[in-house]
Amino acid sequence: MKNKVNTIQHLSEMILKSIGVKRSDYQVHEPIIPKSAETHMLKCVKSNYVSSLGEYLDKFENKLKEITSSKYILLTNSGTAALFISLKQLKVEKSEVLMPSMTFAATSNAVIYNNAIPHYIDSMAKNPCLDIDKLAQYLSQTCTMKEGICYNKDSKRKIKTIIVVHPFGYTVDMDRLIKLCNKYNIKILEDAAGALGSYYKKKHVGTFADFGILSFNGNKIVTTGMGGAILMKNYKDYKMIKHLISTARLEHPYEISHDKVGYNLRMSNINAALGYAQLLSFKTTLRKKKKLYEKYSSNISKLELCDFIKEDDYSKQNNWVNNLIIKNEYIGMRSDIFNYLHSRGIKCRATWKPQHLLKMNLNYPRMKMDNCVKLWKSIISLPSSYI
């Protein structure tokens, strides 16, 4: 018992040593908001343009283009909204959408909102990114091609799309995934909700496919309070989605009319003002978060209790949330670890419960989940916003 306590105590000491800031409690990720945000938000309020029009929408969008090199960007009122409308443009209704079970519920929900069927796939053994080798084997066994369209042999439904999640800012091996999806004529939607500032082979994630999304929720590396963005390659998609998220309202100097069932999914100018202020110092934020990542990596590598999840050689991650994996022989101590760390004010957190285990998703198709359930039981998300 004494050795057990000492092992967990050693972990807490290494976490606090890495953070290097004394506080009463340490959350997983708090907003990193510069003082200049007050100036920009006050300017926005004084302009009276606080809703769907205003200069900060353009400024925020243009800054995102500089960071991501995306050709077209639309700002939305949440990352979920960005997922929902992107899937609608991909026309996934009544088809199956492949997606990792290891993700936040919004990814799965957005599929269901579109009257489509989530089809859950597994993660890698030591990383929450999807397992491409396992997916390739699964597709070869589960799918058949007819006239260039991929079908699930069992359900007879089309598999037209895959949502690839870049979890916590880690990056999926996009070259290999694109090659695999081309073989089965499956469209890719990149869920880069937490990956602003993450790059795969020097290209920003979310820009490899026709659609990618970002989130600016309160816990993200950049926040607008609530908000999201869609990254697109094609003007046709940009034009249609811009119309749909603006309630499909027809432009006219005084008449108010609509030509489709549209959605009110736009970001507001005041939200954009908050995000814009953070983008002005985003490079500094990334440098400081890299430094915290390096401290964690150095200190936690000394522990026998766990391993630290590190970036792959092909990626440059944003270090949004740092995570460790409890080693197999210590899995039984999971609750003790969380309880002890929380008692010290270290409000670390478990990762998402796999989507295929949630009661509303139990009947959807899935592959055999060798890895993501084990990951769920072993990942600890560490305090990551103290820079």
What CATH class does 36-280 carry?
A: alpha beta
For the stretch 175-201, pLDDT in tens is 999 999 999 999 999 999 999 999 999
pLDDT at 121: 98
Specify whether the CB–CB gap between 123 and 102 falls below 8 A: yes
Torsion of CA 179, 155, 370, 126, to 10 degrees: 30
* Residue 359: pLDDT over 70: yes
Q: What pLDDT is recorded for position 270?
A: 98
In the chain the beta strands, taken as DSSP E runs, fall at 26-27, 72-76, 96-100, 117-121, 143-146, 149-152, 159-165, 187-191, 199-200, 203-204, 211-215, 228-232, 306-308, 315-316, 323-326, 346-347, 349-350, 379-381
Read off the pLDDT band of 342 (50, 70, 90): very high
Q: Transcribe 34-46 into DSSP letters.
A: -THHHHHHHHHHH
Residue 2 pLDDT greater than 70, yes or no: no
pLDDT band at 387 (very low <50, low <70, confident <90, very high): low
| Rounded Cα gap, residues 239 and 235, in angstroms | 6
CB–CB of 204/190 below 8 Å? no
d(CA 258, CA 280): 37
- The number of CA neighbours under 13 Å toward the Cβ of 371 is 21
pLDDT value for 314: 87
Residues 233-291 pLDDT 10s: 999 999 999 999 999 999 999 999 999 999 999 999 999 999 999 999 999 999 999 99
Task: For residue 130, give every residue at least 6 positions away whose Cβ sits within 8 Å of its Cβ, in sequence order, or none.
Answer: 100, 102, 121, 122, 123, 124, 164, 165, 172, 177
40 and 277 Cβ atoms separated by less than 8 Å:
yes
pLDDT of 360 > 60? The answer is yes
| pLDDT band, very low/low/confident/very high, at 116 (cuts 50, 70, 90) | very high
127 CB contacts (<8 Å, ≥6 apart)? 170, 309, 312
Would you state the structure tokens that stand for residue 285, as one six-digit string? 């934020």
76 three-state secondary structure: strand
Convert the pLDDT of each residue in 158-175 to its tens digit: 999 999 999 999 999 999
pTM of the model as a whole:
0.96
pLDDT digits (tens, 9 = 90+) for 38-84: 999 999 999 999 999 999 999 999 999 999 999 999 999 999 999 99
Q: Where are the domains of the chain?
A: 2-31+282-353, 36-280
Asked whether 292 and 339 are in contact (CB, 8 A), the reply is: no
Residue with tokens 């100036």: 39
